[in-house]
Amino acid sequence: MAPCDDPTQSPTVENAEQQIDQKALHEAAKACLIDYGTPFHKNIIVRAQGLYIYTPTGHKMLDWTSGQMSSLLGHSHPEISKVITHYAENLDHLFSGMLSPPVIDLGQRLTGLTPKGLDKAIFLSTGGESNEFAIRIAKFFTGKFEVVGLSASWHGVTGAAIGAQYHSGRVGYGPVMPGNFALPAPNAYRSIFRHPDGTYDWQTELSYGFSLIDRQSCGSLAAVILEPILSSGGMHPLPPGYLKSLKRHCESRGMLLIVDEAQTAIGRAGDMFAFQHYAEDEGVVPDILTLSKTLGNGIALSAVVISDAIAEKTARDGFMYYTTHLNDPLPAAVGDKVLEIVVRDGLVDRSRELGKRLQKGLLTLQERYGCIGDVRGRGLMAGIEIVTDRVTKTPGFELGNKLGERMADLGLWAQLGTHQSFAGVFRIAPPITITDGELEEGLRIMEEAFASTEGSLPLY
């Protein structure tokens, strides 16, 4: 059997880490763990602290995916750890119909940050569950059942959420929930919709997409759900003005607008909420906002925020959504502390400013290496699309994997998406507590990885 000793019981954590047999643990994992659609990384991770994750050999890597895009404030943040310890010892979990101060505190703090029209919140576990709730309440409020997503979307793998998801996960499971349609996902780099001067014509693309949906609909369009930056779809920000135009399309059809900010909210993309970014979208407020990942800093916590009007009508009509970990006090206390720290320490502004430096560094790499077809993103959320030819834009999956492995060996963890709708894109999202030095360190490692990997097409 693989060694399973608790390293905290050993003389030093570091010594215990180095005694771990990674090969034996991988063999044990193969025997007892279910494969779930992604290969396990070669390194077993034994510690996560601040911006770094550690292997048993003592090798450390800058974590530029914040775990699963969740550890907004870094791993094992001391204030978060203190909150977890306190509530684990005093107020961890309750009957779902009971209230506790942390839940009310988080509700007040969160709705104090959202604009008017996002007035009442509920707290759940994962992002998939928050989107499940959002779609369910949208259907109940409108009395309709058809839901529209974007063609490179990721919203979760539960029933309603997977129905509105087109990035992956649809093949081989039988019919999804009826009444789901896809709009073409905005992709300024690859879209075939172009103005005569070659620039991206997203307005025509969006109108054309709705014309197809209108032909397919049976007259029961309930909602559109989308991300302000399509992360799993390749880190594509929505174009300026897209949300305002989409909102008009929704209103003309009696649809609600659901914005999924699992990865983009709480400062990650340089704004408290990413839907607020563009002046061209000023005044647009989602009918329903979903949050997860960044809100819990690695703890399973999500939220749905809706208007008073939706809350009042659905309550009056008998809306029901009841789960075991609804409004649990421990994760709520963590979320409240996350929001407190982000606001107190000015981390939204810091993410915006450091994001400019990150983009500048990545654009410099693009000038030096021909395999970088596109650089995009906002705040501390970026994408690098790897190609084998800039003219044909042929995705460079194999090259991207080599670059990713090289980065990991040099001390930087950045995730490469290999699904078709990723097109071979590095998704970069370090904790927004990253220091200037850690940002420069990561860019330096990237430079070294590109310089030392065959096929990177150096331009110097």
- E-assigned strands of 32-190? 47-49, 52-54, 60-63, 120-124, 146-150, 180-183
Q: Would you call 356 a catalytic residue per the annotation? A: no
Q: Would you call 349 a catalytic residue per the annotation? A: no
Provide DSSP, 167-213: SS--TTS----SSEEEEPPP-TTT-S-B-TTS-B-HHHHHHHHHHHH
**DSSP character at residue 274:** G
> Which one from 165, 263, 366, 415 is the annotated catalytic residue?
263
> Which one from 268, 293, 352, 406 is the annotated catalytic residue?
293
The CA-atom distances, in angstroms, between 273 and each of 108, 130, 228, 295 are 17, 16, 9, 11
Instruction: Report the residue count for the chain.
Output: 460
Q: CB under 8 Å to 274, separation ≥6 — which residues?
A: 228, 229, 261, 264, 265, 268, 378
In the chain, how many H helices and how many E strands? 14, 18
- Which tokens sit at 260? 């999924």
Q: Would you call 260 a catalytic residue per the annotation? A: yes
Q: Which residue has the tokens 């839907």?
A: 275
> Which one from 17, 63, 129, 154 is the annotated catalytic residue?
154
> Which one from 63, 129, 132, 260 is the annotated catalytic residue?
260
> Which one from 132, 227, 261, 385 is the annotated catalytic residue?
227
Q: Would you call 154 a catalytic residue per the annotation? A: yes
Distance from C-alpha of 294 to C-alpha of 292, rounded to nearest angstrom? 6
- Phi/psi for 409 (5° steps) reads -65, -30
Distance from C-alpha of 138 to C-alpha of 287, rounded to nearest angstrom? 9
Q: CB under 8 Å to 399, separation ≥6 — which residues?
A: 371, 386, 388, 424, 453, 455, 456
Q: Would you call 263 a catalytic residue per the annotation? A: yes
Distance from C-alpha of 442 to C-alpha of 430, rounded to nearest angstrom? 10
Taking alpha carbons only, the member of 228, 193, 229 closest to residue 209 is 193
CB–CB of 425/234 below 8 Å? Answer: yes
Q: Would you call 293 a catalytic residue per the annotation? A: yes
Paired sense of beta strands 412-413 and 394-395, if any: unpaired
Catalytic residues: 154, 227, 260, 263, 293, 427
